[in-house]
């Protein structure tokens, strides 16, 4: 069984101060609900089920420390707009539902952040989708037409306006959508864990090794303890297959990010003074760039088929070089800025772009394959799994079921190991102007 590993390279996590400790589970325990995986899905599910059922006991466990998984190592965009295939869909109602669900997730996160004063660089900065050259502009025109069709508000910016914000002439045009948020993901995940309701117990560094149905409930084995529970919620994303569910349906794809050292006052001079912005590329295969509130730039690009889910360390120097190239192409005048961290993380895609949400078997609930936009989608999925497990019937839950589906069965792994890298290489070639 493959378990998550932490590689000590994720800048977001490594920069945290005073990380709290939730001890590993060492004694057998009987709880009403076990939530496995403390990412966006698991944290939202644990909180919501505890709110729904204050008299029930909830155990949230993770193989790693909270914040070390993909939810703590992403680029920190909490996106309200539909993504990729969903955005292209002709089903207007479906898109409306996705936007509404994502916005409920953003509100839910924001409410916790404000209520508990979680210090995670949260900002309603929205998102820039930026183009490089003629091909990028064309893709941006298409994106603009979709936003118009969806009656979403946006603002298109010229090269001159962009230079003012991003400190570079690299981008030819961009569209700003105001609905999303930016954050420091590891701080957010730690903050969410530290402020769970009283009926939620957390155990970190506690990996589930097996799940067995026992009578009306389940027996779960970890390295040092046995957990009995009535209901099980899996927020384990790509690792769900290792626990015996959704095998051959989750495509684990890794992407990578690098973070610079903090910029000095002199290095910051080329920027217009806005300290939290984020750019996603007009072509999805391109490079994401972010400025953080603590003066660092983040570069994210490159994809890899991650058959073993974790980051092979020998890849990191090559990836850091690619990130450096993307950085220097945008900021030749900042060539003295060094990278402090480079890391990878794995998210779940599916062959037919469907995201799974639902009851896998009686009293086992899960959400996975969020197509790599899990900050909002994972949060709303976790909330709705909790409502489903609590027997609630709401319009939001109905919408969640409508926007989700069943990921298609994938070809056997040996074929994926040949075919997926080829597809990724072709996508990289096609979008090279945006990398
Ligand atoms: C570099 C990068 C940039 C990204 N940028 C963005 C972005 O800007 N915006 C966005 O929305 N998304 C982004 N994503 C994707 C996003 O991070 C994921 O979609 C999201 O984190 C998925 O959340 P999750 O809760 O489903 O799963 P995860 O965060 O993967 O959580 C699963 C948890 O389960 C635990 N687990 C697994 N197996 C076991 C076991 N056997 N026992 C116990 N625990 C277990 C893991 O340790 C992990 O903590 C990015 C991803 C990467 C890697």
**Span 244-255, pLDDT tens digits:** 999 999 999 999
Measure the CA–CA gap between 77 and 70, rounded to whole angstroms: 13
The answer on pLDDT for 434 being more than 80 is no
Looking at residue 273, its pLDDT comes to 84
Instruction: In the chain, count H helices and then E strands.
Output: 12, 18
Residue 79 near residue 125, CB atoms below 8 Å? no
pLDDT tens digits, 209-245: 999 999 899 999 999 999 999 999 999 999 999 999 9
CA of 61 to the centre of ligand 1 (A): 14
**pLDDT tens digits along 378-404:** 999 999 999 999 999 999 999 999 999
Q: What are the structural domain ranges in the chain? A: 11-72+187-248+352-417, 123-182+251-351+421-434
- Nearest CA-CA partner of 81 in 43, 129, 123, 42: 129
Separation of 77 CA from ligand 1 center, angstroms? 13
Which residue CA neighbors atom 53 of ligand 1 most closely? 345
Mean pLDDT to the nearest integer, 83-97 = 86
Contact yes or no for 336/3 (Cβ under 8 A): no
Instruction: Answer yes or no: is pLDDT of 182 > 90.
Output: yes
φ, ψ for residue 210, nearest 5 deg: -160, 155
pLDDT tens-place string over residues 41-76: 999 999 999 999 999 999 999 999 999 999 999 999
Q: Is residue 123 scored above 90 in pLDDT?
A: yes
Whether 114 has a pLDDT exceeding 80, the answer reads yes
Q: Tell me, what's the pLDDT at 274?
A: 86
Cβ neighbours, 10 Å, residue 274: 12
Q: How far is the CA of 308 from the centre of ligand 1 (A)?
A: 15
Confidence of residue 431 (pLDDT cuts 50, 70, 90): confident
pLDDT given for residue 365 in this prediction: 98
Where are the strands (E) in 165-287, listed by range? 173-177, 181-182, 200-203, 208-214, 217-222, 226-234, 251-260, 277-281
Beta-carbon contacts of 215 under 8 Å, excluding residues fewer than 6 positions away, are: none
11-72+187-248+352-417 and 123-182+251-351+421-434 share one fold: no
Domain 123-182+251-351+421-434 part of CATH 3.30.9.10: yes
For ligand 1, atom 51, name the residue with the nearest CA. Answer: 74
Residue 69 near ligand 1, beta carbon < 6 Å = yes
Mean residue pLDDT of the chain comes to 95
% of the chain beyond a pLDDT of 70: 100
DSSP secondary structure code for residue 408 in this structure: P
11-72+187-248+352-417, superfamily in CATH?
Answer: FAD/NAD(P)-binding domain (3.50.50.60)
Alpha carbons 275 and 293: distance in angstroms, whole number: 5
Task: State residue 133's pLDDT score.
Answer: 85
pLDDT for residue 224: 97
Q: Looking at the predicted structure, is the pLDDT value of residue 376 above 90?
A: yes
Provide the pLDDT for residue 36.
98
User: What's the gap in Å between 119 CA and the centre of ligand 1?
Assistant: 20
182 close to ligand 1 (CB < 6 Angstrom): no
Q: Cβ contacts of residue 185 below 8 Å, gap of 6+?
A: 12, 67, 71, 72, 73, 74, 76, 120, 375
pLDDT of residue 198: 97
CB 156 within 8 A of CB 175: yes
Q: Which of 253, 375, 385 to mutate to test the pocket of ligand 1 (most atoms within 8 A of CB)?
A: 375
Strand, helix or coil for residue 220: strand
pTM score, whole prediction: 0.97
Evaluate whether 347 touches 238 at the Cβ level (below 8 Å): yes
């Amino acid at each position: 069984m493959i378990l998550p590993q932490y590689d000590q390279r994720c800048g977001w996590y490594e920069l945290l101060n005073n990380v709290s400790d939730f001890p590993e589970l060492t004694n057998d325990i009987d709880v009403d609900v076990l939530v496995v995986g403390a990412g966006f899905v698991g944290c939202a599910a644990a909180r919501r089920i505890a709110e729904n059922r204050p008299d029930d006991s909830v155990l949230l466990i993770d193989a790693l420390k909270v914040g070390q998984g993909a939810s703590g190592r992403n680029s920190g965009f909490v996106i309200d707009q539909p993504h990729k295939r969903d955005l292209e869909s002709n089903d207007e109602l479906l898109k409306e539902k996705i936007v509404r669900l994502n916005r409920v997730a953003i509100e839910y996160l924001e409410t916790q952040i404000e209520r508990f004063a979680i210090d995670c660089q949260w900002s309603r900065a929205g998102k820039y989708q930026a183009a490089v050259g003629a091909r990028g502009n064309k893709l941006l025109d298409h994106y603009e037409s979709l936003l118009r069709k969806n009656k979403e508000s946006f603002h298109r910016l010229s090269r001159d306006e962009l230079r003012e914000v991003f400190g570079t002439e690299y981008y030819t045009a961009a569209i700003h959508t105001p609905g999303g948020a930016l954050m420091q993901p590891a701080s957010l995940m730690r903050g969410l864990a530290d402020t769970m309701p009283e009926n939620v117990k957390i155990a970190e560094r506690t990996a589930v090794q097996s799940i067995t149905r026992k009578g009306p409930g389940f027996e779960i084995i970890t390295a040092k303890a046995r957990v009995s529970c009535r209901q099980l919620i899996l927020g384990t994303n790509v690792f769900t297959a290792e626990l015996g569910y959704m095998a051959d349906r989750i495509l684990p794809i890794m992407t990578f990010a690098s973070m610079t050292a903090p910029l000095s006052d002199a290095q910051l001079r080329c920027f217009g003074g806005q300290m939290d912005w984020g750019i996603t590329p007009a072509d999805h295969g391109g490079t994401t760039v972010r400025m953080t509130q603590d003066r660092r730039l983040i570069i994210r690009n490159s994809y890899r088929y991650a058959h073993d889910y974790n980051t092979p360390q020998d890849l990191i120097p090559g990836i850091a070089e690619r990130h450096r190239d993307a950085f220097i192409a945008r900021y030749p005048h900042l060539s003295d800025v060094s990278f402090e961290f480079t890391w990878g993380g794995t998210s779940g895609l599916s062959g037919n772009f469907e995201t799974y949400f639902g009851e896998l078997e009686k009293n086992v609930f899960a959400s996975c394959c969020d197509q790599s936009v899990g900050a909002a989608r994972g949060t709303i999925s976790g909330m709705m799994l909790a409502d489903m497990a609590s027997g609630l019937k709401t319009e939001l839950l109905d919408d969640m079921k409508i926007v989700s589906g069943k990921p298609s069965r994938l070809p056997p792994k040996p074929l994926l190991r040949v075919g997926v890298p080829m597809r990724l290489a072709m996508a990289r070639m096609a979008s090279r102007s945006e990398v």
